[in-house]
Amino acid sequence: MRNHREELFWALVLLLPSLLGVGIFTFIPVVASFGLSFSQWNLLSPPKWVGLQNYLELATDPLFWKVLLNTFVYAFSVVIFEVPLALGLAVAMNRQGWVVKIFRTIYFLPVVTSMVAIALVWNWIYDPQFGLLNAFLKLLGIGPISWLFSTQWAMPALIAMGVWKNVGYSMVIFLSGLQAISADLYEAASLDGADSWSQFRHVTLPMIAPTLFFVMIMSTITAFQAFDSVYMMTQGGPENATNVAVYWLYQSGFEFFRVGRASAIAYVLFGIILTLTLVQWRLRKKWVALEA
Amino acid sequence: MGRTRSLIAYTLLTLGAISMLVPFLWMLATSLMTPEQVYATPPNPIPSPVKWQNYVNAVQAVPLVRFFLNSLLVATLTTLGQMVTASMAAYAFARMKFPFKEPLFLLFLATMMIPPQVNVVPLFVLMSKLGWIDSYYALVVPGLFGAFGIFLLRQWFLGFPEELENAARIDGCNPFQIYWKIALPTALPALATLGIFTFIGTWNSFLWPLIVTNSEHMRTLPVGLAAFKGSFRETTDWGQLMAAGVISVVPALAVFLIGQKYFIQGLMAGSIKD
């Protein structure tokens, strides 16, 4: 009774906008980006094929290695601080009641606020002379520290802000993982005389391992894409101390008009993020198989 | 012991919550301060007298209203567009039979692995070839499509009862009419999730509008704010700047607070994709 030719026609109609849109604005650019990474182009004269030159130049450019190191330092530091913090908060929050809902909302405020606005106020908090942070540290007899103007402290300042912005996101994901753990498990554990810590260690942690891993990978990927905070607060400085992959990509492409190099940076970043995603998928399948 | 544990938990949560709120409150407080108060040492958190004038000054110093309307227009159009394109494709993937359905769906899913930053350079080139730089087209059109919404809504349509579909077919509806008149209205919660996600994401997005806008009147709020901050050389008028910041933050927060339930559901949906 279903007419197949007609069904195919309507399926095409329904799919057409997404097919065209995702094709034109995602697939073509991702391929073009790869192609451009083998070219030299300043957007004015026609692009020139240069083979692997962009990648070779990157490999021998000390700034590239610095940027890469910065990106890794930023991403891993954010994750190392954010994930345990988020897990701790989620465990503390894993109970019923309206108070918890209010807390959840509060922790989520930074997640839904634009990084530009957040950077604005943190810029002011980090102000060496009149900022809130140094005023606070002065009470403890520390400082003053010239946060964003110091090669030593600019990166930690960005990391702290990154953790502050995203901890609520990780926390909510953890919370949903915790809520899926059956109360029977805890009951059995406490009958066996397990105290809170060993309950956490032997029930919560193993049960939440897949979520933990997911959150770690997702926060790493998010941190690898950092741009807004760097643009707003340090412009990659001082002395490239906070120059990270996407910011350098932006500079190369839209300040220096080196399209080929920008595309090569994009593909290095893509490679790293893709690897992380694939690792996540593989291990997730394994875990799902183990649970079943 | 349970009580001690609760006490520790609530103490931890309260301390965390304070550190989450302080920057927001500091922004609000500073937005109402005179320069003398802003630069007082030690800092005084309570603005007195309250300088509402900062808001007026901010709106006069830069076309803040224009930025606001640009952001509103771009975010609204993008949200509506995503809802339409994603729900159409999602319905086809969930309820219809056609060749290459599985690989095509996987291909869409795969695009979620591409970091948007990888595409900005060629997309910029495409926009300039189309003559769309510095126009609403560049701000809106590339954002109208996406795999996340397709994924989210497909899950919903998979649970759509087949009897309703069959009844509509017997009544002579074609698949597009079934999608539009029968299936779509039932999908409102999922649409709300997608809508809130898209709206907040677009409202806050920075890199893309930064790249494709040149003239002041095309800027969205984040780009306008960034330029406003950059316009201060020697001393920054933090009061004015924070007033502009507050104006930019409020709509996204309002949308989040109203639709929090749907937003968190969407977050979960994103986290269980495999």
In this structure, is residue B28 part of a structural domain? no
Q: Are A124 and B38 in contact (CB under 8 A)?
A: no
- Quote the minimal CA–CA distance from B21 to chain A in Å: 7
**B205: helix, strand or coil:** coil
* Chain B residue numbers touching A130 (CB-CB < 8 A): 38-39, 41, 43
User: Cβ–Cβ of A112/B252 closer than 8 Å?
Assistant: yes
In this structure, is residue B24 part of a structural domain? no
Q: Residue B245 sits in which domain range?
A: 62-271
Query: Looking at residue B274, what is its pLDDT?
Result: 38
- CATH number for A257: 1.10.3720.10
Candidates B59, B38, B56; CA nearest to B47 is: B38
* Chain B residue numbers touching A262 (CB-CB < 8 A): 121
Mean model confidence pLDDT for chain A: 89
Interface of B with A in 202-231 (CB under 8 A): 203-204, 206-207, 210-211, 221-222, 225-226, 229
CA–CA dist A269, A247 (Å, integer): 12
Candidates A70, A255, A33, A247; CA nearest to B118 is: A33
Q: Residue A72 sits in which domain range?
A: 55-291
CA–CA dist A288, B253 (Å, integer): 36
> For A31-61, what is each residue's pLDDT tens digit?
999 999 999 888 888 888 988 989 999 999 9
In this structure, is residue B255 part of a structural domain? yes
In this structure, is residue B210 part of a structural domain? yes
- Nearest chain A residue to B30 by CA: give it: A121
Distance of CA A275 to the CA centre of its chain: 14
Q: Please give the full DSSP string across A27-84, using - where no structure is assigned.
A: IHHHHHHHHHTTEE--SSSPPEE-TTHHHHHHHH-HHHHHHHHHHHHHHHHHHHHHHH
Angle between helix B64-95 and B238-258 (nearest 10): 30
In this structure, is residue B221 part of a structural domain? yes
Q: How many domains does chain A have?
A: 1
Nearest to A17 among B88, B91, B108 (CB): B88
Interface check for B140 against chain A (CB to CB < 8 A): the answer is no
Helix count (H) and strand count (E) of chain B?
16, 0
Residue partners of A190: CB distance under 8 A and separation at least 6: A199
In this structure, is residue A208 part of a structural domain? yes
In this structure, is residue A10 part of a structural domain? no
ipTM score for this prediction: 0.88
Distance of CA A28 to the CA centre of its chain: 25
CA–CA dist A183, A189 (Å, integer): 10
In this structure, is residue B139 part of a structural domain? yes
- The residue count of chain A comes to 292
In this structure, is residue B5 part of a structural domain? no
pLDDT in tens, chain B (274 residues): 567 878 888 888 999 999 999 999 999 998 998 888 888 777 777 887 888 888 988 888 889 999 999 999 999 999 999 999 999 999 999 988 899 999 999 999 888 888 899 999 999 999 999 999 999 999 999 999 999 999 989 988 988 888 888 888 888 888 899 999 888 998 888 899 899 889 999 999 999 999 999 999 999 999 999 998 888 766 778 888 999 999 999 988 998 888 888 877 777 766 554 3
- Quote the minimal CA–CA distance from A106 to chain B in Å: 6
CA–CA dist B224, B209 (Å, integer): 10
In this structure, is residue A43 part of a structural domain? no
> For B12-35, what is each residue's pLDDT tens digit?
899 999 999 999 999 999 899 888
User: Cβ–Cβ of B221/A15 closer than 8 Å?
Assistant: no
In this structure, is residue B170 part of a structural domain? yes
Q: How many domains does chain B have?
A: 1
- CATH number for B252: 1.10.3720.10
Tokens standing for residue B90: 């999602």
In this structure, is residue A22 part of a structural domain? no
Q: Please give the full DSSP string across B27-53, using - where no structure is assigned.
A: HHHHTT--HHHHT-SS--SS-SS--TH
- Nearest chain B residue to A254 by CA: give it: B211
Q: Which helix (H) or strand (E) holds A118?
A: helix A115-125
Hey, of B20, B133, B255, which one would you mutate to test binding to chain A, going by the most A CBs within 10 A of its CB?
A: B20
In this structure, is residue A50 part of a structural domain? no
**B112: helix, strand or coil:** coil
